[in-house]
Amino acid sequence: MIVTIGIACLILACTMFMQFKIVNQTDITSIETMREEELRQELANWKQKYEEVDQQYEEVEEKIEEYKNKKQSDSETAALVKEELEQSNLLLGKTDVEGEGIEITINEAPDNDFSIIKASDLLSIVNSLRYAGAEAISINEERILTMTDIVDINDTFIKVNGQRILAPYVIKAIGNKSYLESSLVGNGGYADQLRNIGHDVKITQMDKVLVKKYNGEITYKYISD
């Protein structure tokens, strides 16, 4: 009698652990667990990514063709290389960029312990702007590059690209101006959060914003050639 119950217990325990394992393995990013709405979004995402890569493929193909055709002529090759280099420098942040966008001016609330703008505030704003598709961003004319860090030095200064900056902060971003603004206002937007604790945040949509280039050398030491 007892032996039988013991065996039953063992089987039950085994089943339970098996179940635990399955639950643990359920991957939350897997499409198996997604519902209709999420799936539709996911599908749109992958479609877009596919189209992007397809378009890129054609462009690279074209470029190869051009190089092949112009091999004989030094001046034509030079023009091609120059064009590619200009594109690289644009993406690197080594050129001034102009275009549609927004300008955000933040004046710190006076005499209030909560009133200091921290590096983390600027970091969140930059992240929101990138989410809205910002192509080029600067804070107090310091260009934000891929590897730019934003850290606190003390209550007055914040370090961006190794340069000290201080309030008032003027953030410029190029991209779709209404997307950019809407990423910061309303529904938990970061500009609203800052306004709520007393900061003065002004956002201006502009048809022409000039984001200055990065002034230093952009180099690397540890990436191998």
Question: Which 188-207 residues touch another protein, going by CB under 8 A?
Answer: none
- Rounded to a whole number of angstroms, the minimum distance from the CB of residue 190 to another protein is 12
Q: Identify whether the C-beta of residue 115 lies closer than 8 Å to the C-beta of residue 197.
A: yes
Output 107 or 124, the one with its CB closest to another protein.
Answer: 124
- Rounded to a whole number of angstroms, the minimum distance from the CB of residue 107 to another protein is 24
Look at residues 124, 162, 128, 167 and name the one whose alpha carbon lies nearest to residue 142.
162
Output 165 or 175, the one with its CB closest to another protein.
Answer: 175
Output 23 or 154, the one with its CB closest to another protein.
Answer: 23
3 binds another protein (CB under 8 A): no
Q: Identify whether the C-beta of residue 182 lies closer than 8 Å to the C-beta of residue 205.
A: no
Q: Which of 118, 149, 197, 202 binds another protein (CB under 8 A)?
A: 149
Distance CA 68, CA 66 (A): 5
Output 71 or 200, the one with its CB closest to another protein.
Answer: 71
- Rounded to a whole number of angstroms, the minimum distance from the CB of residue 64 to another protein is 5
Distance CA 117, CA 167 (A): 8
Output 107 or 145, the one with its CB closest to another protein.
Answer: 145
49 binds another protein (CB under 8 A): yes
- Rounded to a whole number of angstroms, the minimum distance from the CB of residue 196 to another protein is 18
- Percentage helix, strand, coil, to 5, in the chain? 45, 20, 35
27 binds another protein (CB under 8 A): yes
Distance CA 104, CA 201 (A): 7
Q: Name which of residues 85 to 144 contact another protein (CB under 8 A).
A: 85-86, 88-93, 95-101, 119-120, 123-124, 127-128, 130-131, 133-136, 144
Q: Identify whether the C-beta of residue 34 lies closer than 8 Å to the C-beta of residue 42.
A: yes
Output 35 or 114, the one with its CB closest to another protein.
Answer: 35
Please name the residues in contact with 125: beta carbons below 8 A apart, sequence gap of 6 or more: 104, 171, 184, 190, 191
Distance CA 96, CA 90 (A): 8
| C-alpha neighbours within 13 Å on the C-beta side of residue 137 | 27
- Rounded to a whole number of angstroms, the minimum distance from the CB of residue 203 to another protein is 17
Stretch that binds another protein, among 71-79, 107-115, 186-194, 195-203 (CB under 8 A): 71-79
* CB neighbour class for 187 (10 Å; exposed up to 12, middle 13-18, buried from 19): exposed
Q: Name which of residues 150 to 169 contact another protein (CB under 8 A).
A: 150-151
Output 98 or 155, the one with its CB closest to another protein.
Answer: 98
